[in-house]
Chains A and B, each alone.
Chain A
Amino acid sequence: MMKLTMLLAALVAANLAFAADAPKKKTDFPKKTVVITVPVSAGGGTDLLTRAMAGPLKAKLGQTVIVNNKTGAGGAIGFAAGSSEKPDGYNVTALVAELLTVPQVSTVNFSYKSFVPVCNVNSSYGTITVRADAPYNTLQEFVAYAKAHPGEVKIGNSGVGGIWHFVAAAFASEAGIVVNHIPFEGGGSAVVALAGGHVDAVPVTPQEVEVQVKAGKAKILTVLAPKRLDEIANVPTAEELGFKNLVFTIWRGFGVPKGTPDEVVAVLRNAFKAVLDDPQVTEFMASKHFAKDFKDSKDFYAMMEREEAVYALQAAKLGLKK
């Protein structure tokens, strides 16, 4: 009898709990491990940020969060894999600017439209970083050097059709120089090559070259940002130096395959938003100079739509169009 009363009480309580939420469409997501596919190699900026967020995200969602690097082909392998996963919310893909650039230059079965954007979490900007022992100390001197040595200057990028390939190509065409683009598997490998003296410049973010700049192996000539960056306020922007069209946003966000239910996306978005305010993540992002830039699904999609058009134009202009 006692048991029955308790069971009834529990049922009533459960009903009440349901009733409280009634207006919203309910979801019991997540019930199992969430896998975040990172399309770039371990140790790069996107990978570090995702891994730093994974811990608090686990606490938020109450389920294990696994970060899985699926690298290669400038991110195409990870995007293709991520976009064709089951649209149930358990397969999250870290989206980066390459999502817009890769489809411009190679035949792939995905585009930014293959994903439902969850949210954008960070935006950063490129640099022109050269070796510390290089004979040039300013962007103008570098350009002059490249003009005197046409085709000899090697700029490392994170893969053919990767964002850094576009940035480097746009820089070269804006500066009127001919350079040799060397594809690597991720920005991290390109920076290693710069430190080793195998390439002359990399266009990657300040975070990615930070270790080598501090170690005295590299120097940043300019930032490709709308205004100077707080962490390296002594480095001029490209615009200050007379290069007007060299601002590219290196955004990082998360998406799920098209068809994922809205209420599931909402759970993920709220979790990511809360994680962005987590003290551990805040500290990590501040110390690594990852600028927080939260955009919800709608704003995120609008940004991708806008930038996609820019890259399509660039691809045609730079002769990279497939």
Chain B
Amino acid sequence: MMMDVLANVMSWQIVLAILCGVAAGISIGAMPGLTSTMGIALLMPFTFQLEPAVGMMLLIGEFVGAIYGGSITAIMVNTPGTPSAAATVLDGYPFTKRGESCRALGISTVASAGGGIISGVFLILIAPQLAEIALKFSAPETFALAFFGISIIASISGKELLKGLISGTFGLILALVGMDNISGLSRFTFDTVFLMNGLSFIPVMVGLFAMSQCFVSMEELYDEIKITAKITSPIPTWADLKKIFPTILRGGVTGTLVGIIPGAGGDISAFISYDMEKRVSKHPELFGTGIVEGIAAPESSNNGTTGGALIPLLTLGIPGDANTAVMLGALMVFNLTPGPQLFVEQALVVNTLFAGFMIANVVMLVMGLSGIRIFTKIVQIPKPVLVPIIILMCVIGSFAINGNYLDILVMFGAGVIGYLLLKGGFPLSPIVLALILGPMAEGNLRRSLVMSQGDYSIFLTHPIAATFIVIALISLFWPIVRHLKNHRSTKAA
């Protein structure tokens, strides 16, 4: 068996599929607006003519590469290339501003590969056992996870907590636009079909981050502030590696677990890991100023979801996120019906995919590290040239997601709002987090209440749900309690 798998994986078709998949993924991920899910959907028709294992490896390679690729844009131009890299912006861009983009990209590459490989180990060793987690998540649990996720706004708001909360609330309000998923009621749609499905997430995100940044850059277009990128070795230093090693472990495991949960993917897990890392850190106040843990946490976590999302897909036929939902279609076309019997009847294919997944992560590591010197050239492009290129990419990305020109207007609108918020000192990440989690929280809250016939105790009787809600409440109220306690003790003294 071992030799068969090895022979299979080392066949030129599979190797070529992995190389093409990862390269395509990194490019797609780095383009703001083009997401890994879209990449998989675009590549899928090409795979139907291929052998099942070859076709699946192309898709899996793309998945792995794109989740990593998003961080390149996040670090270099302050714009997440994919939603999964939204948390990477927080600490990634400060590195570039300091001229240390080489170091940041090196950390992100190593962390991404590390997270991916950790999830791969879980995928190979205990996929069937872990897959049961996917079955445990129903509406109350998913609501509780989203509720917990929203509480993270507090930790990504930087120094301005109040402004962060305002941003988050603004995001939640934006998330209300569109038909609601339980009763089909139109909200804030002004009788236009365009708004029925809500504001498209990608154009809003691209506008908020990239377009607003372009507006800021226009102000200083001809200023002689030159950011110089120190060309250092792309391979992280031993000191950095030692610092991020535990971060990658935690991120990879968290990512794997979040990836398993249906409907939760790399975007959510990256924020959760960032928040978690800040909590266990000895110097939480440094997060957001450009520290290595702030990149390693989200990047190891979002790539951790790649293996995680494949776990329920292959063992139960339940997609763990949007990417694997598209892959389920591909599996069916290849006549690989997922489930326990897949591991028996198609053991060779499954094991080839497992081995291929690991190789894809190594390929990504090598491609990423060797590409860093090219990526860092971006900052050397003079602003009058770079800014129009970024604007063009924003327009293309926003249009491509639904093929609707109105999305371009949404992107520009979000850009103006993002610019004003930046000027007012409001953090932008909470808006994105709220846009991701708002619909998830709302739909599952209402579904839970339908299940329980209006009884709110459903959130307490489901242990997983109760745990998440309690953690969220503690993390929300602990600062207040601590403040009161300090206040009282200083009074007493």
Contact among B184, B196, B262 with A74 in the assembled complex (CB-CB below 8 Å): B184
Mask of B315-346 contacts with A, CB within 8 angstroms, 1/0: 01111001001101100110101111100000
Task: List CB contacts (< 8 Å) of B122-166 with chain A.
Answer: 134-139
- A180 near B329: Cβ-Cβ < 8 Å: no
User: Given A72-B179, A77-B196, A192-B262, A211 and B184 touching (CB < 8 A)?
Assistant: no
- A73 near B316: Cβ-Cβ < 8 Å: no
Task: List CB contacts (< 8 Å) of A197-212 with chain B.
Answer: 197-198, 210-212
- B184 near A73: Cβ-Cβ < 8 Å: yes
In the complex, whether B197 has a CB less than 8 A from a CB of chain A is yes
Query: How distant is A124 from chain B, measured CB to nearest CB, in Å?
Result: 15
Query: Contacting chain A: which of B40-48, B65-73, B267-275?
Result: B40-48
User: Given A58-B45, A161-B184, A77 and B333 touching (CB < 8 A)?
Assistant: no
Mask of A197-237 contacts with B, CB within 8 angstroms, 1/0: 11000000000001110111100000000000000000000
In the complex, whether B178 has a CB less than 8 A from a CB of chain A is yes
Provide the main secondary structure of the chain A interface: mixed
In the complex, whether B16 has a CB less than 8 A from a CB of chain A is no
Contact among A35, A160, A182 with B184 in the assembled complex (CB-CB below 8 Å): A160
User: Given A42-B325, A43-B329, A106-B184, A196 and B447 touching (CB < 8 A)?
Assistant: no
- A214 near B45: Cβ-Cβ < 8 Å: no
User: Given A72-B179, A197-B135, A210-B337, A180 and B451 touching (CB < 8 A)?
Assistant: yes
- B316 near A84: Cβ-Cβ < 8 Å: no
Contact among A42, A54, A73, A192 with B181 in the assembled complex (CB-CB below 8 Å): A73
- B333 near A52: Cβ-Cβ < 8 Å: yes
**A42–B138 Cα gap in the complex (Å)?**
19
In the complex, whether A154 has a CB less than 8 A from a CB of chain B is yes
User: Given A76-B179, A154-B451, A215-B341, A70 and B197 touching (CB < 8 A)?
Assistant: yes
Contact among A51, A151, A184, A215 with B317 in the assembled complex (CB-CB below 8 Å): A215
Query: How distant is A47 from chain B, measured CB to nearest CB, in Å?
Result: 6
Mask of B197-234 contacts with A, CB within 8 angstroms, 1/0: 10000000000000000000000000000000000000
- B197 near A72: Cβ-Cβ < 8 Å: yes
- B447 near A182: Cβ-Cβ < 8 Å: yes
Residues of A within 8 A of B328 (CB): 42-43
B interface residues, tally (CB under 8 Å):
47
- B329 near A48: Cβ-Cβ < 8 Å: yes
Query: How distant is B225 from chain A, measured CB to nearest CB, in Å?
Result: 43
Q: Closest residue of chain A to B319, judged by CB?
A: A43
- A108 near B184: Cβ-Cβ < 8 Å: yes
Which of A51, A58, A185, A189 has the most B CB atoms < 10 Å from its CB?
A51
- A77 near B197: Cβ-Cβ < 8 Å: yes
- A198 near B339: Cβ-Cβ < 8 Å: no
Query: How distant is A256 from chain B, measured CB to nearest CB, in Å?
Result: 16
Residues of A within 8 A of B316 (CB): 195, 211-212, 215, 217
Residues of A within 8 A of B339 (CB): 211-212, 214-215
**A2–B328 Cα gap in the complex (Å)?**
58
In the complex, whether A68 has a CB less than 8 A from a CB of chain B is yes
Mask of B21-65 contacts with A, CB within 8 angstroms, 1/0: 000000000000000000001001100100000000000000000
Which of A67, A180, A195, A198 has the most B CB atoms < 10 Å from its CB?
A198
Query: Contacting chain B: which of A22-30, A247-255, A280-288, A310-318?
Result: A280-288
- B443 near A185: Cβ-Cβ < 8 Å: yes
Residues of B within 8 A of A109 (CB): 191, 193
In the complex, whether A41 has a CB less than 8 A from a CB of chain B is yes
Residues of B within 8 A of A74 (CB): 184
- B193 near A80: Cβ-Cβ < 8 Å: yes
**A198–B462 Cα gap in the complex (Å)?**
11
Residues of A within 8 A of B322 (CB): 42
**A211–B402 Cα gap in the complex (Å)?**
31
Q: Closest residue of chain A to B194, judged by CB?
A: A81
- B317 near A212: Cβ-Cβ < 8 Å: yes
**A216–B341 Cα gap in the complex (Å)?**
10
Query: How distant is B280 from chain A, measured CB to nearest CB, in Å?
Result: 31
- B450 near A180: Cβ-Cβ < 8 Å: yes
**A316–B217 Cα gap in the complex (Å)?**
60
**A105–B184 Cα gap in the complex (Å)?**
9
Q: Closest residue of chain A to B326, judged by CB?
A: A42
In the complex, whether B240 has a CB less than 8 A from a CB of chain A is no
- A47 near B197: Cβ-Cβ < 8 Å: no
Q: Closest residue of chain B to A50, judged by CB?
A: B329
- A51 near B333: Cβ-Cβ < 8 Å: yes
Query: How distant is B286 from chain A, measured CB to nearest CB, in Å?
Result: 41
Mask of A298-314 contacts with B, CB within 8 angstroms, 1/0: 00000000000000000
Given A196-B134, A197-B135, A215-B317: 19 more A-B contacts, CB < 8 Å: A42-B326, A43-B326, A51-B44, A51-B329, A68-B403, A72-B181, A73-B181, A76-B179, A81-B193, A185-B181, A192-B262, A196-B136, A198-B139, A211-B339, A212-B317, A214-B339, A215-B340, A215-B341, A284-B333
> Top 4 nearest A-B pairs by Cβ distance?
A211-B317, A196-B135, A198-B138, A73-B184
Q: List 16 A-B contacts (CB under 8 A).
A: A41-B325, A42-B322, A42-B328, A47-B329, A48-B333, A71-B197, A72-B178, A73-B184, A73-B196, A102-B184, A160-B182, A181-B450, A192-B318, A195-B135, A212-B316, A214-B339
Chain B residues within CB distance 8 Å of chain A: 41, 44-45, 48, 134-139, 178-185, 191, 193, 196-197, 262, 316-319, 322, 325-326, 328-329, 332-333, 335, 337-341, 402-403, 443, 447, 450-451, 453
